Amino acid sequence: MKINLRQIEVFRAIMLSGSISGASRLLLVSQPAVSRLISYTEQRLGFLLFQRIKGRLYPTPEAQRLFEEVSSLYESVQRVNDVAENLVENRAGQLRVACSPNIGQSLMPRAIAIFCQRYPDIRIALHTLIPGALLKGLLTHQVELGIAYMPVAHPSLEIRPLYRNRIVAALPAGHALTARDEITTRDLIDEPLVGYNSDIPFGQLVQQLFGNDAGQPLPRVEVTQAHVACAMVQAGIGVALVDEITMQGPIWSNIVTKPIAPEINAPIDIFSIQFQPLSRLAVEFISVLESLRS
């Protein structure tokens, strides 16, 4: 390398100030130090950068051409500093998050509203995905955070518990079971049930609630998402087992919820890649999510 960053800094200081003395003041070093370094730089380059005419320094045409590149370099450095400052202040950037569909209608709108109020310049990309697609999104770095009920652990994921998320029975208003304080799965055996596809984790959890195959009710309607089940109950089609987080979403009129006994949960966790530091934005978003627990 013919010229290093310190030599570039001294050269630029002379070009800006027009003299050795001015450069020494800009750089807070002695004039002899500036003179020695610029002389050494000229030796390394193999051409003169300045000529002294009647006691003043004048840049050569070669110096003028070199200064154009140096100016571009310093503009790039300034952009780096600007980006760093924006990162410190969380003034720019994008946060990529994935969640399960029911959370996308309940928890996430509240969390994102708070986050956007705090950081109005940040862009959020929210993907509502089923657990398998959410896991793939995390592992391929398409998203930084995942928020979901995803009971199958993966060795590459770090898991932060967020909500216990109790399972409740969603009943049409006026249903006889709404008079109960708690409901058991036995109470629902003869009820028209809105059930779930057994391929999804929540559907598998609901099946576990009813026990063995002999105790499994035949759903009147089968869906893949809890908020769709709520819409079915709202329409008077039947009853459904849903989670508390889903019930915090849209105002479900004409629906009454009752806790299931014994208590069972579909815990909501925050997922990220293990041993990979989170961005400042992701850490801030997790803080917002955790603040909504209270």
Task: Give yes or no: residues 29 and 40 share one domain.
Answer: yes
User: How many other CB atoms are found less than 10 A from the CB of residue 250?
Assistant: 14
- Whether the predicted pLDDT of 78 surpasses 80: no
Mean pLDDT value of segment 59-85: 82
Structure confidence at residue 215 (pLDDT) = 67
Structure confidence at residue 26 (pLDDT) = 86
Residue 146 or residue 91, greater confidence? 146
Report CA 161 to chain centroid distance, whole Å.
Answer: 16
- Whether the predicted pLDDT of 183 surpasses 60: yes
H or E element that contains 222: strand 221-223
The residue behind tokens 């249903």 is: 175
Structure confidence at residue 293 (pLDDT) = 79
Task: Give yes or no: residues 140 and 26 share one domain.
Answer: no
Mean pLDDT value of segment 257-275: 93
Task: Give yes or no: residues 197 and 76 share one domain.
Answer: no
pTM above the 0.75 mark? no
- The residue range of the domain holding 226 is 167-259
- Whether the predicted pLDDT of 40 surpasses 80: yes
Q: Which residues contact 165 (CB under 8 A, 6 or more apart)?
A: 149, 243, 244, 245, 265, 266, 267, 268
Show which of 89, 114, 132 is a domain's final residue. Answer: 89
pLDDT digits (tens, 9 = 90+) for 4-27: 888 888 988 898 888 899 889 888
pLDDT digits (tens, 9 = 90+) for 210-263: 876 666 788 899 998 888 999 999 999 999 999 999 888 777 888 999 999 889
Give the rounded percent of residues in the chain with a pLDDT score beyond 90: 44
CATH number at residue 201: 3.40.190.10
* Count: domains in the chain: 3
Residues in the chain: 294
Show which of 34, 68, 89 is a domain's final residue. Answer: 89
DSSP code, position 185: G
CATH number at residue 51: 1.10.10.10
Distance separating alpha carbons of residues 94 and 115, to the nearest angstrom: 12
Structure confidence at residue 55 (pLDDT) = 79
Structure confidence at residue 204 (pLDDT) = 87
Show which of 89, 119, 147 is a domain's final residue. Answer: 89
Q: Which of 49, 45, 38 is nearest to 6 (CA)?
A: 38
Task: Give yes or no: residues 13 and 67 share one domain.
Answer: yes
Query: Please, which pLDDT band fits residue 1 given cuts at 50, 70 and 90?
Result: low
Structure confidence at residue 92 (pLDDT) = 56
Distance separating alpha carbons of residues 49 and 43, to the nearest angstrom: 10
Query: Across the chain, what does the average pLDDT equal?
Result: 88
Mean pLDDT value of segment 122-145: 90
Task: Give yes or no: residues 255 and 123 share one domain.
Answer: no
Query: Please, which pLDDT band fits residue 280 given cuts at 50, 70 and 90?
Result: confident
Task: Give yes or no: residues 247 and 178 share one domain.
Answer: yes
Structure confidence at residue 294 (pLDDT) = 61
Torsion of CA 287, 292, 293, 294, to 10 degrees: 110
- Whether the predicted pLDDT of 90 surpasses 60: no
H or E element that contains 29: none
Q: Check: CB of residue 240 under 8 Å from CB of residue 228.
A: no
Q: Which of 17, 55, 53, 46 is nearest to 34 (CA)?
A: 17
Task: Give yes or no: residues 240 and 186 share one domain.
Answer: yes
Structure confidence at residue 284 (pLDDT) = 93
Structure confidence at residue 156 (pLDDT) = 92
Mean pLDDT value of segment 117-137: 89
Structure confidence at residue 152 (pLDDT) = 75
Task: Give yes or no: residues 81 and 155 share one domain.
Answer: no
The radius of gyration of the chain from alpha carbons, rounded to an integer in Å, stands at 32
Q: Check: CB of residue 29 under 8 Å from CB of residue 17.
A: no
Task: Give yes or no: residues 153 and 71 share one domain.
Answer: no
Task: Give yes or no: residues 40 and 102 share one domain.
Answer: no
Task: Give yes or no: residues 176 and 238 share one domain.
Answer: yes
The residue behind tokens 């559907």 is: 203
- Whether the predicted pLDDT of 207 surpasses 90: no
Q: Which of 105, 59, 143, 52 is nearest to 231 (CA)?
A: 105
Task: Give yes or no: residues 42 and 76 share one domain.
Answer: yes
